[in-house]
A and B are shown apart, each in its own frame.
Chain A
Amino acid sequence: MEFEEMQVIWNSQNDEKLYAINEQALHDRIRRKGQSVNRLVGIFEWIMIVANLLVGVVLAVEAFYDQEPLLYYVLPALYLAYGVFALVRRLTRRKAGERFAPTVLGELDKALWQINFLINQSRTIIVWYLLPIFLVASVYFLLNGKWLWALVLGLVIFPATFAGSRWEVNRYYVPKKRALESLRETLLAPPPG
């Protein structure tokens, strides 16, 4: 059979109605699953922005009214800085999502960019957010004689959070990233000889 004949066979199916769609079931399914990832990322971002700014302001006001030394402004400053940082990250993410070519390769690059963004964000949160906050909080506890809390924070909560975050990245994001990279390689690989 020549390819032209295959083309004729192919074209013959255009009038066939192979399937009927259960539209109600499809809409229900989409409503349940649709928008969930983006919406969850958006909600998480807004929680981080609002919670950090709010905690930062509350702690700063409290330190001001209690006339605490300058050291007590470090923690609220960290919260406020992260709140602003999270806002900038959100804007960057949304803007960057629009720059990819409207092609299958562009979709792939966008998905890869998003997964890298999440991996990077997970690492950034540990090093530049949780670690400084835990360190400063531990110092507060030590200064106030609550050494047991400082120990729990430094030896239990921080390592557990760090391990949890690494696990999340390695369990979910890295395999997805590898799969996308492999798909991209296949897409761009020269045809087999």
Chain B
Amino acid sequence: MNERQQKQIFDDWLEKHRGILFKIVRANAFNVHDREDLFQEISLQLWRSIPDYRGEAKPSTWIYRVALYAAATWVRKETKRPQTSSLGELEQTLIAAAQPTDERLDWLYEQIGRLEPIDRSICLLQLDGFSYAEIADLIGISQSHVGVRIHRIKRHLVNQSQELNHHGV
């Protein structure tokens, strides 16, 4: 595969599946700098993964796998680095669109972001409609393991929302 073909596939994936990347970025990075950094890291890993893509999985599944792995390693690396919130030398590749924000969605992302990385990934997949079997295949753990985690994640999120209501926020 030459670079032109690789770029063609990359652009196509970015056009059709950018939503996946945005969701993963938003669930794992919480300021402008980090979102930019994570988006670039995921894009880079996605670019590198293209020569290995054999078409056995749907592109969306492949993109999810690569992006979730990139996000998990990025989160681990970032927690050990001093925090910074300015863009600094990072070139801007993400331009935020002026959209009315849904507070409930913000809250949901905030809660997902508080889960540990593996649960974050499972939660995103569950919300995006993947079955237990698909999640198990994508992450590489057993279906029962996925089931237990999803059950706990759901319970946790519902409890958090009740707590929020209880405090009248």
Residues of A1-41 whose CB lies within 8 A of B:
1-3, 6-7, 9-10, 12-14, 16-23, 25-30, 33-35, 38
Partner of A19, one of B76, B97, B140: B97
B19, B118, B148: the one within 8 Å of A187 (CB): B118
Instruction: Establish whether residues A2 and B158, one from each chain, have CB atoms under 8 Å apart when the complex forms.
Output: yes
A21 touching B91, Cβ below 8 Å: no
Q: Which 5 A-B pairs have the closest CB atoms?
A: A105-B140, A103-B140, A1-B161, A107-B69, A26-B93
Min CB distance B33 to A, Å, is 15
Q: Which of B7-55 contact A (CB under 8 A)?
A: 7, 10-11, 14, 18-19, 22-23, 26, 40, 43-44, 47-48
User: Chain B's nearest CB lies how many Å from the CB of A108?
Assistant: 7
Contact among B44, B102, B138 with A29 in the assembled complex (CB-CB below 8 Å): B44
CB within 8 Å of B: which A163-193 residues:
179-180, 182-183, 186-188, 190-192
- Whether B91 lies near A29 (C-beta < 8 A) is yes
The digit string for B143-169, where 1 denotes a CB below 8 A from any CB of A, is: 001001100101001100110010000
Smallest CB-CB separation from A189: which chain B residue? B118
B73 near A183 with CB under 8 A, answer yes
Please pick, from A7, A16, A18, A187, the residue contacting B141 in the complex, using a CB distance under 8 A.
A187
Q: Which of B48, B68, B77, B127 contacts A34 (CB 8 A)?
A: B48
Q: Mark B85-122, 1 if CB is under 8 A from A, else 0.
A: 00000011111110100101100100000001111010
Q: Using an 8 Å CB-CB cutoff, how does the interface string of A111-151 with B read, 1 for contact, 0 for none?
A: 10000000000000000000000000000000000000000
The answer to whether B1 has its CB under 8 Å from any CB of chain A is: no
Docked Cα-Cα span, A18 to B99, in Å, equals 7
Report if A91 contacts B (CB, 8 A).
no
A56 to B92, CA, bound (A): 50
A21 lies within 8 A of B95 (CB)? yes
Contact of B48 among A10, A28, A38, A105 (CB under 8 A): A38
- On chain B, the residues within 8 Å of A152 by CB distance are none
Contact A13 to B140, CB < 8 A, known contacts A22-B94, A25-B92? no
CA A38 to CA B48, docked complex, whole Å: 9
Question: CA of A186 to CA of B43 in the docked complex: distance in angstroms?
Answer: 24
